[in-house]
Structure 1
Amino acid sequence: MELKIVVSEDSFKSADAYDIVYSNISFINLVRDEGGVMGEVIHPDAIMSYYLDYYLAQYKNGNFSQIVWNTQADYEFFDDIAKGLEKIGAVQNLALLNKQVEVLKGLDETVLEAFCESDYFGTNPTRDLLKNDDFYNLEEDIVELNAKWLKNHPDLEVLSIEEMFVKAETLLDKKISRE
């Protein structure tokens, strides 16, 4: 079965850019909650969009240092985010991410491990070193770029809510409760 990026008709038609991003997230969460494995039944670009939203939310909430702490300095995650930022055309955000990953790579392994195992809050010089407020001054809007990219994706499938449930049931080969 060819995997698709699945979103609702309402989100596709919405003037609010976040609606289509959130619809993609909601479909992925539905499939995951029902036992689906992301890499097996979810389109890779749908997953990428999902993680770009996670990255954005984490950065807005606690800066780059929070992402490092929450992902336990997962370089593969940062590589995936970089590929995603490139795909959606977020040049400024990609440049900042690359700069921050270089700072991260410059940390002593023992210091980084201690940071990942420490409490995030309180006195934390490694956390403070990893912060970069330049993010808040970038003129690119990751949500807008992500939404535009999703809307124009060749593998996008726009469905009614009921059709989204049917699609999830087909992917999972099981019935899903419509609570």
Structure 2
Amino acid sequence: MTNALLIDKIYLTETEQTELVFTNIKNVNAYFDLHVHSDEISPAVLYSYYVDYYLSQVLNGGIAQFAYNSRWNSGMLHYVEFGLAEMGATQHLELLEEIADVIMGQIGIDNFINFTQQNLLNKNKIHDKLNRLTDKFLQINKKENLEILNNQFLQHHADTVFISHQEFKQFLQKLKQNPMLQARQNEHLEQLPSHVRYIRQLCDEHGCELLHIMDKENDEHWHFFTSRGRFFMVEQGDNVVMMTYHNPEIVARVNK
């Protein structure tokens, strides 16, 4: 469904190469928002995406945080492992195998599952055992810098296509019209709480992105933040309406 690595033309210059990974992350998130499945996305796109996730998690909270938040998910690890191999990060790949040996061998899968069901902030022996490998990761990353390798991977990959931002928006619009993706979206919406479903529909109607839904204020209205500011939802008979937060006026309406 998405066989190319689509990168914004604005990042063609050498000085902007560090943005290649970021634009790929935004693209993948857009695919997931449309309910495109992983096996419908170019593997190379996901190699870059999940290697960056691995890097970001370790730099933020160590190996323990990555293991905890990923739940050592085999699907994700597949992309991290193959991504490291494709990028030539051989020492990082060896470390990932060492982490797996610690989890599966020294810690044991049952103990690890128990670890993931606790609060990560409650540091324990498993947390400490995993994070002993963080310094090793940081040392390796000085020689095999994953940010640099990831950017080079995207820059020189045979499937990379540089397009304009407008062209990518048009590509997403075409994806949105795919009947299979529309069916998945409808199924997903039906499973959401009614207020979330209505707010999402209102945001689509108003042409903005939903960022965060707040708790009800005074048990009356649902307030939410969007890319165009703060709004709240009001039920009016068979309709729900989206109203501006300041000087309330209706900006969108959908049927229940």
Normalised TM-score (structure 1): 0.88
**1:1-179 matches, cutoff 5 A:** 3-33=3-33, 35-39=34-38, 41-106=40-105, 107-131=107-131, 132=133, 133-138=135-140, 139-173=143-177
Asked if 2 retains the 8 angstrom alpha-carbon contact of 1:9 and 1:160, the reply is yes
Query: Partners in 2 of 1:102 and 1:76 — Cα distance?
Result: 17
- CA gap of 1:28–1:163, structure 2 versus 1, over 3 A, is same
TM-superposed deviation, 1:14: 4.3
Q: Which residue identity does 2:139 align to in structure 1?
A: N
Contact 1:21–1:49 (Cα < 8 Å) also in 2:
yes
Structure 1 regions of 5+ residues with no counterpart?
none
Indicate if the aligned counterparts of 2:18 and 2:148 stay in contact, CA closer than 8 A: yes
List runs of 5+ in structure 2 lacking aligned partners.
179-203, 209-226, 228-256
Distance in structure 2 (CA, Å) of the matches to 1:40 and 1:123: 36
Please say if residues 9 and 158 of structure 1, whose CA atoms lie closer than 8 Å, have aligned partners that are also in contact: yes
8 Å CA contact 1:31, 1:172 repeated in 2? no
Which residue identity lines up with residue 92 of structure 2 in the other structure?
A: N
CA distance in 1 between counterparts of 2:122 and 2:35 reads 38
Q: Cα offset for 1:53?
A: 0.7
Count residues with an aligned counterpart.
177
Distance 1:39 1:79 in 2: 12
Query: Residues 37 and 125 of structure 1: is their aligned pair in 2 closer, same or farther, counting only changes over 3 Å?
Result: same
Quick one: distance in 2 between partners of 1:135 and 1:45? 23
Deviations 1:25-64 (A, max 9, x none): 111222333x231425532211121111111000111111
Secondary structure of the residue aligned to 1:157 is strand
Aligned-pair RMSD on alpha carbons? 2.1
1:7 partner SS: strand
**Distance in structure 2 (CA, Å) of the matches to 1:31 and 1:78:** 20
Query: Normalising by structure 2, what TM-score?
Result: 0.63
Q: CA 1:40/1:166 → structure 2, altered by over 3 Å: closer, same or farther?
A: farther
Higher strand fraction: Structure 1 or Structure 2? 2
The aligned amino acid for 2:152 is K
**Runs of 4+ deviating beyond 3 Å:** 176-179
Bigger Rg over Cα:
2
What per-residue deviation string (whole Å, max 9, x for no partner) do you get for residues 106-147 of structure 1? 122331121011111133111111111211112111111111
Structure 1 window deviating more from structure 2 (83-92 vs 72-81): it is 72-81
| Counterpart AA for 2:128 | D
Structure 1 residues 47 and 38 mapped into 2: Cα distance closer, same or farther (>3 Å)? farther
Looking at structure 2, the residues matched to 153 and 144 of structure 1 have their Cα atoms a distance apart, in angstroms, of 14
Provide the rounded CA distance (Å) in 2 between the counterparts of 1:78 and 1:104: 13
Structure (1 or 2) with the greater helix fraction: 1
